[in-house]
Structure 1
Amino acid sequence: MSTKQKISWVPIAIIGTLVLILGFNSTYTVQEKEVALVTTFGKVTDENTQGLHFKWPWPVQKVEKVDANKTHRIEIGFRQDGDKVSTVGNEALMITGDENIVWADAIVEYNISNVRNYLYNTDSPENFLGNATVASIRTVIGSKNLDYVITEGKTEIQAEVKDLLIASNDLYNTGIHILDVKFQDIEPPEGEVSKAFMAVTDAREEKITKINAAEKHRNQVIPKARAAANAAEEEALSQKTERINDAKGEVQEFNAIYSEYVKNPGITKKRLILETIEKVYPKSKIFIVDSKGNTVNYLTLNDLMKK
């Protein structure tokens, strides 16, 4: 073959290669459970299901395939790799409504109901779903008591978590359809986590006990102090009233005596002297001698007062 003939085949080979490349890049196959989204210069222009389809080569058109009709699952609180299972503490750790700690492991099953929303409404649909699931579980378990959570409450908790999860996905139009929420285990933790939590719980309970004791003491002391203060005030008022009344009585008595004294100074003076003597010697017999007669007469003070 001459050099001229060899050169003439080169363009044909190049063109043939380009045709093959373009042909290969212009077709794509969508599997049974897949849905393909076609974008033209970055804008969604088509959505295709199972079968062989054609498109313009890149960069004109691009195809993204999603297992939309397949049941997917995410694991919360644990990860399973074959027979190996590991705990994810930041997902599994939950606080109950009565402030106890539990581990909660769950599985969420879902499929993709809207491929466009799934691909373009969130940066990472699976991360969103995982975070929303953890938040929903914490919300529900946080409203229940420990005994209920670890005994008969599992079914109800699953239903409530599913409802919250559906609401979250609907709110953000994630394109995810929640099929089921299943708890593997809900149980109190063991080991160091349990010890640390119990230490915090004990400290909090001790604090509450001391506060209650102080409040009880306060409730006992303050009423007693108030009662004592009220009693002292009442006693002072009583003494004040008594002394005022005594003073008023003495004034009235003095005024009465003075009035009599003005009328009969001699008799009043004599009476006052006799009353004073009687007060000084209340039990003594006092004899008063009348010096006008030769005979010694005597009178008791009581007899004299009767006169």
Structure 2
Amino acid sequence: MKPGVVRNWLVAIVGVVILFYVGSTSFYTVQEQERAAILTFGKYTHETTSGLHFKWPYPIQEVRVVQAELTQKITIGYRQNGNTVTPVDDEAMMITGDENIVSADAVVTFKISNIRNYLHNISDPEQFLRNAASASIRSVIGSQKLDYAITDGKTAIQDMARERLIELQSRYETGIQIIDLKFQDIEPPGGEVEEAFRAVTNAREEKNTKVNNARKYENERIPNARGEAQAMLEQAEAEKKSRILNAEGDVAKFNAIYSEYAKNPSVTESRLILETLEKILPDAKIFITNSGSNTVNYLPLNELLGNRSSGATATQQQAQTPVQTPQAPQATESQQEAQGGNGQ
């Protein structure tokens, strides 16, 4: 072949290679969950979102694609591959504030919020995030007691560890946004220690159950007792008012009687005596006699009350009729009869 033809073929081949290289390195595709950072001569210039884009060929411009729109997670204290879980004791084992050992497993959820910081400020983002999460958890658990960490303090420790992890990402400007940090479990190491702490936990739960039952009984009994006490107070108040009213009535009655007694003491005295005899001797026969002489005058009240319908005039005549006795002893017997009837 002529030298000119060979040269032309070489130029054509070089041109095709250059065109292929330029075409393959100038166009790139970004997926929907990704974002791309464009580096011009190694310096960050701008970002692109999903779609087909053009750039200057390498080494003028370089593209770095990261999953910035995807929520990601890492595990602390274990690794999970499908259904297989492998413990990582170096990450899980920690020392509490009272110098006990505890195993803590956690999951950190995050997103990439700043691609420039994510690519340039940390060399291995995943390892940095794992170390930062482990350090945050250790710093919090290291200031707490074991009993608190494995029982009531799990949520509080989780919140404090998340806040410290967010603070570390902000301090080092990693470009990582922490969404959440959740503990899978906080428990003592396996073996006898675990059994002992499980027994403590069961005892604490039983204690809480009994306390709740006692409070329930208290809440039931106290209102009932208060109701009974209130009923007794109201009953006593009613009894008090009743007695006061009865006493006031007796006083009024006594004052009325006393006013009449003051007007005529003898008449009132006789009436009170008769009323009292009627109360204490309701079935007695009453005779009123005058034994001042040998002739006995008496008033048969029972017969008069029984024959009230005969008229007031007949009653007065009968009351004024003298009874003659042949001898004085008969008058004495009449008086004894009157006395025997409890009407003297």
> Into which bin does the TM-score normalised by the smaller protein fall?
0.5 to 0.7
TM normalised by structure 2 equals 0.53
Aligned to 2:83: 83
Partner SS state of residue 70, structure 2: coil
Shift of 1:17: 3.6
Aligned to 1:210: none
Aligned to 2:114: 114
- Structure 2 matches for 1:7-156, cutoff 5 A? 11-156=11-156
Q: Distance in 2 between matches of 1:122 and 1:7?
A: 49
Unaligned runs of 5+ in 1: 195-307
Q: Distance in 2 between matches of 1:110 and 1:173?
A: 14
Q: Deviations over 1:21-50 (max 9, x none)?
A: 211211111111111111111111121111
Partner SS state of residue 59, structure 1: coil
Aligned to 1:187: 187
Q: Deviations over 1:41-67 (max 9, x none)?
A: 111112111111111111111111110
Q: Match for 2:116: what amino acid?
A: R
Shift of 1:9: 5.4
Q: Distance in 1 between matches of 2:123 and 2:177?
A: 17
Q: Deviations over 1:180-236 (max 9, x none)?
A: 101111100014998xxxxxxxxxxxxxxxxxxxxxxxxxxxxxxxxxxxxxxxxxx
Change (3 A) 1:16 1:118: same
Q: Match for 1:183: what amino acid?
A: F
Q: Distance in 1 between matches of 2:62 and 2:51?
A: 17
Equivalent residue pairs, number: 195
3-12 or 108-117: bigger deviation:
3-12
Bigger radius of gyration, 1 or 2?
Answer: 2
Aligned to 2:162: 162
Shift of 1:7: 7.4
Aligned to 2:317: none
Partner SS state of residue 36, structure 1: strand
Q: Distance in 2 between matches of 1:187 and 1:106?
A: 12
Shift of 1:3: 11
Change (3 A) 1:135 1:193: farther
Q: Match for 1:167: what amino acid?
A: E
Partner SS state of residue 160, structure 2: helix
Shift of 1:163: 0.3
Partner SS state of residue 21, structure 1: helix
Q: Distance in 2 between matches of 1:73 and 1:88?
A: 17
Q: Distance in 2 between matches of 1:17 and 1:123?
A: 34
Q: Match for 1:172: what amino acid?
A: Y
Q: Distance in 1 between matches of 2:109 and 2:127?
A: 14
Change (3 A) 1:29 1:193: farther
Partner SS state of residue 152, structure 1: coil
- Structure 2 matches for 1:228-239, cutoff 5 A? none
Q: Distance in 1 between matches of 2:40 and 2:180?
A: 36
Q: Distance in 1 between matches of 2:5 and 2:89?
A: 73
Change (3 A) 1:23 1:144: same
Aligned to 1:211: none
Q: Distance in 1 between matches of 2:36 and 2:141?
A: 39
Shift of 1:78: 0.6
Which one has more relative contact order, counting CA pairs under 8 Å at least 6 apart?
A: 1
Aligned to 1:248: none
Aligned to 2:177: 177
Q: Deviations over 1:43-100 (max 9, x none)?
A: 1112111111111111111111110111111110111122221111111011122221
Q: Distance in 1 between matches of 2:193 and 2:7?
A: 78
Partner SS state of residue 135, structure 1: helix
TM normalised by structure 1 equals 0.59
Q: Deviations over 1:149-195 (max 9, x none)?
A: 1112221111111100000110010000000101111100014998x
Q: Distance in 2 between matches of 1:6 and 1:125?
A: 52
Shift of 1:8: 5.2
